[in-house]
Amino acid sequence: MYSIDLGSLRISFAAALVSAPLSGVNHDWLNEEWRDTPQELKIHQGESSATIMGLTGFGAEKGQHVIHVIEPPIKTEHELMAYFLKKAEISNSPREVLLNAINSLEYPWGKLVSLNWTLLGYAPGGAEYCVLPTNFSAISLGYLRLDWPTVRVYPKA
């Protein structure tokens, strides 16, 4: 289990996931047979944020992920949707397309909201993630894709 602290909040998770070709032979973007596999991580815990480096994966999967509370604080799903819509405006896509690129899922700890850049025409694309814990401000995870069913968000002891 990994964990990171953001002020008075702790996020724990079993793994970050990356996509790997099912054949395991090469990383061909045209290959349609992919599977999720756990990624090794190196975590540098800061005072109010954490920086996570993936030790495996490609592109944004591997890159430096700065996990932080979004400023100014976002407390509702509606505000988080507006945050993603503003970021996605650079694609010059119609509002309906932008809204279709945003996904929201509920978990026992709160909501996971993501912006799918691939649907907006960016290649290789990927999704940008934010978690909105119950009774806390939204947290940006960047392109770090966690094993969502294993995520736990709770007050730091």
Q: pTM to 2 decimals? A: 0.85
Could you tell me the mean pLDDT of each successive run of 10 residues in the chain, 157 residues long? 92 85 59 71 91 72 84 96 92 90 96 94 86 95 94 89
pLDDT of residue 133: 96
Q: In whole angstroms, what separates CA 151 from the centre of its chain? A: 12
- In the chain, what are the domain boundaries? 2-26+33-155
Amino acid at 95: R
DSSP 66-122: EEEE-SS---SHHHHHHHHHHHHGGG---HHHHHHTEEEEEETTEEEEEEESGGGT-
Looking at residue 9, its pLDDT comes to: 93
Q: What is the pLDDT of residue 17?
A: 84
pLDDT of residue 157: 74
Q: What residues contact residue 29 under an 8 Å CB cut-off, 6+ apart?
A: 123, 124
Beta partners for residue 131, in sequence order = 112, 139
